[in-house]
Amino acid sequence: MKKTYQIDVDCANCANLMEETANKTEGVKHCTVSFMTLKMKVEFQDGVDASEVMERVRENCRKVEPDCEIYL
């Protein structure tokens, strides 16, 4: 399952960090973050609850970049 989320972040490096963090989050199979379009594309592992995983992704991203936002 793949989903795209709108995000808000100020710097390109932070977007890279968010991508790295999301990829390490449990339940995420693959994630790409585009700073230019401010979009996060997430491919979930089979059988996970997307909204629950995304809560965790957001929480982890906030740790690396306190000012980021993911619109769920």
CA distances from 38 to 10, 47, 48 (A): 10, 27, 24
Residues in contact with other proteins by the rule CB under 8 A: 10-13, 16-17, 32, 34-39, 41, 63-64, 66-67
Distance in Å, CB of 36 to other proteins, minimum: 4
Min separation Cβ 46 and other proteins, Å: 21
Radius of gyration over alpha carbons of the chain, in Å?
11
* Pick 12 or 72: Cβ nearer other proteins: 12
